[in-house]
Structure 1
Amino acid sequence: MTTPLTELTGVRHPIVQTGMGWVAGPRLVSASAQAGALGILASATMAPDRLRAAVREVKSRTDAPFGVNLRADAGDARTRVRVIIDEGVRVASFALAPSRELIAELKDAGVVVIPSVGARRHAEKVAAWGADAVLVQGGEGGGHTGEVATTVLLPQVVDAVDIPVIAAGGFFDGRGLVAALAYGAAGVAMGTRFLLTSDSTVPAAVQARYLEASVRDITVTTKVDGLPHRMLRSELVDSLENSGRAAALLRAVRHAASYRKLSGLSWARLVRDGLAMKHGRDLGWGQVLLAANTPMLLKASMVDGRTDLGVMAAGQVAGLIDDLPSCAELVDRVMDEARHTLRSLSAVT
């Protein structure tokens, strides 16, 4: 199935595996890429040297195109961009809108730039700055999310920009892919669906929690880092929702110290990243400090398997997923379902 996404990136199928922190490592990314999707390596929780090693590991596993996801507001974003360019990575995706200068630097080196956005005006801005495509996530998506549903946000963005649009938030099968294409998208991006594969490194006990969840077991909270964050409801989430400000700040300081040690970042770099995060947002300093919770709380579940100590970012589609196929099986299934759906629609008169 050829679309502007497949033509732009060189992948076989119009499917993107999103760059989920602690989840989208070399094993999942290479399996997704080998299956014909666009695998995206999550780099925000990696030091630059580890990022370079991870990119090389993916390249050793597959010759297929893949991408790297960056935090545009990170103090070392330009260093990470240089790693992407030096290592010949095909795609750079961004969790936040990159600057005009970063886009130009990547494009001059032949890297495809695909920022993620949650609003039409953000899509218009990065398109004007030269982005090659844009990934738009509706409120159904996992992790940091907005309030506008994909079915409302997607057509808004498709009508507003003249670059390929990738739809995210609520997709898990071939019917969803066809629906996104009907709206004018060039493909779909899926996070939770790829997290729940046999190629995912997420511990089995954590995957079981996702598979057991109903759509009502997925909630949005601001208590993790001050921003709306969609995740599985758990005892810890309930505790965070009910905790006082002093306890929350103490927890944030503790996790910030752990993240600093793990990432190798200095306190000065963490402060600079906090300033970047605060810029342009109506966040108090307490909320900026709370943002230090996110990497370590996610790691506790996604790496260490401690659902009692960590949080589990999840799209609402987790409540509709009940199996763990390989990436190859998943992508083949989605494409078979999409072709079947298209044939069924062609019979409608």
Structure 2
Amino acid sequence: MSGPAPIRVLDFGQVMAGPLAGRLMADVGAEVIKIETPEGDSMRGRPPLRDGHSAYFGTLNAGKRSVVLDLKTDEGRRDAFALALTADVVIENFRPGVMARLGLGYEALSAANPRLIYCAISGFGQQGEGAKRPAYAPMIHAASGLDLALMDFSPGAERPAPTGMFYADVMAAVYAWGAIQTALFERERTGKGQSVDVALMDSLISMMIYEVQEAQFPQARKRHVYIPVKTSDGFVIVVPLSGKNFAAMLSVLGAPEWGDDPRFATPAGREANWAEIMRHVEGWTASRSSDACEQLFMAAGVPCSRYRTVSEALADPVSVERGIVGTVEDGAGTFSVPNPPFRLSQTDAQVRRMIPALGEGTAEILGALTSAHEH
């Protein structure tokens, strides 16, 4: 006996947030059909490139099929609409209103397919003034308060740090994925689909648990932050939070007299004077390697980690044992991408191997539509 048909996802996503939500659907077994223009998703040209194939694109789109549709033509829109009638989920991250103008918005598709779950990802939501704004992750990082909050953690910083990692896109993709699961579960109960509206701005604001409260209830003292301390060849972070941790750290340091300072006698006192404590600690770590510091502190029961590169983190035996990355394949060969950061005991949750070539599924998937219509 064959099992139930997989959830079919029509992924109109482009660049990052939409495609990553679609990839997470593929990771848990959905059939994800990526709709691309004849030129393909722009991420196909983004480095790192190997023999013309983008590993960046591959990370975001592994496990999908690719169907080329020109939504600027009547035929392309007609085929997209027909595909949506066969879908359980639509994901898109165009600017609000674009899909509706193409005749592919939630109202039009849900009228024809009432079980459809339609997930739209945008910068500021689908309605109101914000829907009119362009929205790229670096703008959201600036607009949300995140960048200034991070700047506030760095004494002496004169401007916010440059943006290189697009947290807003990743957070929105993960929230979209979770909201889609909720909508699928609700459909099991009611038989009805619904629209899902995910905003990058909301996603980043939700990440700032303390800062949202501090904005309402300003504190006399700045928030406690953890500080890197210099070693002979890099940095470590030392986190002696409890009294036991602090005593163990002093023992490793040779029980220096500054450890008896009454300011450091309580957790609240240590937190208030953290920078001063770390200045003393750095006097000890600066002449030792990061590895030595980490090993000595951890052996004594003091939470500590050296600062590692991404390459080092991936090669860590713990990462390897966990299966933190999986192997995927495109026209240039195989490489590793992060697996979903969860494991399920009954569901195979891992990145699927094949990355779609542009339009590789067009004939087969549209052909199946035509065949079904004829029958």
TM-score by length of 2: 0.28
Who wins on radius of gyration, i.e. which is larger? 2
* TM-score with structure 1 setting the length: 0.30
